[in-house]
Structure formats: C-alpha cells, structure tokens
Chain A
Amino acid sequence: AQSVTQPDIHITVSEGASLELRCNYSYGATPYLFWYVQSPGQGLQLLLKYFSGDTLVQGIKGFEAEFKRSQSSFNLRKPSVHWSDAAEYFCAVVLPYSGGSNYKLTFGKGTLLTVNP
C-alpha cells in the first residue's frame, strides 16, 4: 500500500547536537516530497520541498534534506539544534501526476522533537 512512514514518534536531543529525522515513502513512482513543522498552537510551516534535480535540498531555519531514491527516503537534518526547534515535524508527499483533480498531500504521522538545554 502507498504510504509515508516516519519511524520515530518522539526524539529528544540536546541543544547544539545534530539532528536527523527519518522519512520513508512507498509509492510506485517518486513523489514530490515536503517537510513541514508545527510549533505548539501553530499551523504548518513549510521547511523545504523536493521536486527534481539536486537531491540535497536546503530549507529555512538551517534545515536540509536529502532525497535518496534507492532507499525511498527523504531525511531531514540540522547540524546544530536550537531550543526553538522543539516542535512536531511532518513529512508529506504528493504524486507528480500532470493531470488529475486533486493535489492531496499524504502525511506521515509526525515526529515530536524535544530539545534539552
């Protein structure tokens, strides 16, 4: 079945440590890939997106993600985490069909990030 998997429900890191959040997808074709962040009481903010081209994508707030076709993965990374990065992170995909009537994002279940001082 087509799906998006975020294997880690909750991750805790220390401030200043590096971070990697995992995302795997299961689709016949390579989907378009997104990472969103949701801070407490806030909506979803787009961190970065991958459509084609360079497989290392730079986003806002110092985040980057790497698309690996062989592993069907799109992991999010940050070299040094700040306390303000504590939030829930969602990986999402959409199939790149050129026609059709729906631009539906399919989300993973999210990874909650806690940052220790």
Chain B
Amino acid sequence: EAQVTQNPRYLITVTGKKLTVTCSQNMNHEYMSWYRQDPGLGLRQIYYSMNVEVTDKGDVPEGYKVSRKEKRNFPLILESPSPNQTSLYFCASSLWVPGQGVRNQPQHFGDGTRLSIL
C-alpha cells in the first residue's frame, strides 16, 4: 500500500531535549516536505526536499533541521525544542519533478505527529 509513515504519532517532551520525527514514503517520490498545523493558521511549510541531499527552507524553518540521505526518508529534527513548537506536524511527498511543473501530481500526507513541548 502506498503511504507516508510518520513516527511517533504522539510525543510529549520537555524544553531543550532533542527529538526527531521520522518520515518515510514507499512511493519512490522525489519531493518531500514538512508542514506544521496550528489552530487558526492552517498548514505552513517548514522545509522541503527536491531529492537526496537537496533541502531548503519553507515559510517557518526557525528551530528545525532536516536531512535527506535516502530518497524514502525525510526526518524532522528539533535540536532544542521550545513550547512554541508545540503543534501538529505533517510530512508529505509527491512524484513532482523539478523543472516539469506540478505535472498533475498531488501531495500525499502522513497521519501526522502531535508534539507537545513542556
């Protein structure tokens, strides 16, 4: 089954304790992205990756890091989490190919990770 898998689904932790949220897709997609969802703000892009070893900032990258060492995985890293990073996080992937526009390829989302930073 084609899917985007995030882990963990829920995490409560404390300020300053490094954490990683994993994201894996089994569709051989080039493009992957992280969003955060906050009440009244909708979803906002944190980081994205066009391909292995190619990543760039989205709209709200402060306090986050990502890596793309393999095509299927795109972990989100919070080196020193703070309470304002308490949110619902989504990973997404797409078959979109740079230089060829959207090409009728929607984004597929994971089930989300709810982070609470105390």
Residues of A within 8 A of B (CB): 32, 34, 36, 41-46, 49, 51, 90, 92, 94, 96-105, 107-110
Contacts and interface: CB of A to CB of B under 8 A. Distances in A.
Contacts of A41: 111
A109 B101 contact: no
Contacts, number: 70
Interface residues of B, number: 32
A53 B96 CA distance: 20
A98 B33 contact: no
Interface string B1-39: 000100000000000000000000000000101010000
A35 to B, nearest CB: 11
Interface of B: 4, 31, 33, 35, 40-45, 48, 50, 56, 58-59, 90, 92, 94, 96, 98-102, 104, 106-112
